Amino acid sequence: MNDITEPVEEQTALESLHEALEQDNKPLARSVVDALHPSEIADLIEGLPKQQRYEVWQLVDSEVEGDVLSHTQDAVRAELMEQMLPHEVAQATQDLDTDDVADILQDLPEPIAESILLAMDEQNRHRLASVMTYPEDSAGGLMNLDVTSVRADVSLDVVTRYLRRVGDIPEDTNNIMVVDRDNHYLGVLHLTDLLLKEQATTVGEWLEEAPFLKANAPTSDVTKLFEQRDLVSAAVVDEEGMLLGRVTIDDVVDVIQSEAEQTVRSMAGLSSDDDMFASVISSTRRRAVWLGINLMTVFLGSWVIGRFEDTIQQLVALAVLLPVVAGMGGIAGSQTLTIAIRGIAQGQLVKSNVKPLLIKELMVGVLNGLIWSCIVSLVVIFWFDDQALGLIIGLAMLINLVIAALAGALIPFILKSFGIDPAIAGGVVLTTVTDVVGFMTFLGLATLYLIV
């Protein structure tokens, strides 16, 4: 295996692997796979068609199969695990962190997950069961049960000797959890204090209160806490304050990456488990709904244009300029929409402070509207030698930019109140609003003042 600090370029590895598979050169293909980190192998497998995925999976060293599965996209991981027997999955995941194994099993059908659990040893089975009682998108679902804890009344010397006897501490451990006799969480003891402070002193003297997470806290609260406090790890407790486990920074990074990817996919109407090489029927079915929704919005815009068919026939320049009004409104609205969705996602924008945002975006819309309507008006006047047309399009653009700014700020809240993810539907709704308003104002004003 290569050192993690010297990763093989993914594109080069993928090309080399394709070449080896085409030549049926299994030794070369195995050498390409062996040279990669498990996360890179997972990316590599995701970039292969289904049949080649199975071929490459057979080349993966059994010692890293679990790590590869933990880094693989849900849909692809499920496919690979369908080719494995329950005891093979249990063996592959036995050295993984409990939260990673829980993530893997929660994506499987219940009968298969139960078969895998039964194939595990009793200790791992009980540990997994405790994690899987919590939703996947909660602190309890993210937590790792591998946590080192000590009592506040023992000396640092006792803690040091205990750690030496154990001979190991969990990864990403920058502090030791401190609990009372009943396992209630009290705070943390930093490893630096353990090393530098007088060994005869007690843990309680150097105990530091540290933020913790309730097991049912959503992942949005987890990522926000880690971002605000620059944490490496945080304790997870139940409703009574009993220490259950901890969440570490590597899990939080995975959540952030997953949420970012989901946001991008949602804007295109794709689900988080869409596989690049999924079957044609499956991909078609998932995307058909989104395309249908977009088609309805397009027809709505076309219907508005059709209401002014006589106007357009008398002044063809209107048809030429329609995309200008609608396009500018769409861009202006999407800027505000992005700000609003981001604010809601980060918990910075709520109903109580939406009014200042509306006022601010309204002022931005008015100023931008005045600036760009003047510019477009001048361009149209010189282009078509029609002063009235220039004034009409300028006024239409001003109205559309103002409406777009207000719509961009309000749409996320309206969608959220109906339980709809603004990242998924916000863009479609906003485009419909800006198109309809843009077409209606421009063609309506032209009908009133330009057509005799």
Distances (CA, A) of 96 to 78, 90, 104, 282, 381: 17, 10, 10, 31, 69
Which CATH number fits the domain that encloses residue 184? 3.10.580.10
Helix 10-22 to helix 38-46 angle (10° resolution) is 60
Which CATH number fits the domain that encloses residue 307? 1.10.357.20
Mean pLDDT in residue range 190-219: 92
pLDDT-derived band at 80, boundaries 50, 70, 90: confident
pTM across the whole model:
0.63
Angle at 332 between CA 327 and CA 335, to 5 degrees: 125
Each residue of 347-376: pLDDT tens digit? 777 777 788 888 998 899 899 999 999 999
DSSP state of 308: T
Instruction: Tell me: do 289 and 407 sit in the same domain.
Output: yes
Whether residue 212 is predicted with pLDDT greater than 90 in this model: the reply is yes
Instruction: Tell me: do 300 and 434 sit in the same domain.
Output: yes
User: Which has the minimum average pLDDT: 122-136, 194-208, 242-256, 273-287?
Assistant: 273-287
In this prediction, residue 3 carries a pLDDT of 45
How many whole angstroms from its chain centre is CA 294? 23
Alpha helices in 73-175 (DSSP H): 74-82, 86-93, 98-106, 110-119, 122-132, 139-142, 156-166
In this prediction, residue 2 carries a pLDDT of 44
What is the Cα–Cα distance from 109 to 309, expressed in whole angstroms?
55
Each residue of 333-355: pLDDT tens digit? 888 988 888 888 767 777 777 88
Mean pLDDT in residue range 406-411: 91
Confirm whether 337 is domain-assigned: yes
Instruction: Tell me: do 389 and 445 sit in the same domain.
Output: yes
In this prediction, residue 273 carries a pLDDT of 55
Each residue of 159-183: pLDDT tens digit? 999 999 988 888 888 899 999 999 9
Mean pLDDT in residue range 379-404: 92
Give the number of other CB atoms < 10 A from CB of residue 133. 11
Average pLDDT taken over every residue of the chain: 84
With beta carbons less than 8 A apart as the criterion, state whether 398 and 373 touch: yes
- E-state strands within 135-193: 149-151, 175-179, 185-190
Q: What is the separation, in whole angstroms, between the first and last Cα of the chain? A: 79
Instruction: Identify the residue whose tokens are 């009793």.
Output: 122
In this prediction, residue 279 carries a pLDDT of 67
In this prediction, residue 5 carries a pLDDT of 43
Each residue of 177-196: pLDDT tens digit? 999 999 999 999 999 999 89
Provide DSSP, 345-360: HTT---GGGHHHHHHH
Last residue within a domain, chosen from 93, 115, 136 = 136
Percent of the chain topping pLDDT 90:
29
Q: Which range marks the domain in which residue 211 is found?
A: 149-248
pLDDT-derived band at 88, boundaries 50, 70, 90: confident
Whether residue 9 is predicted with pLDDT greater than 70 in this model: the reply is no
Domains identified in the chain, total number: 3
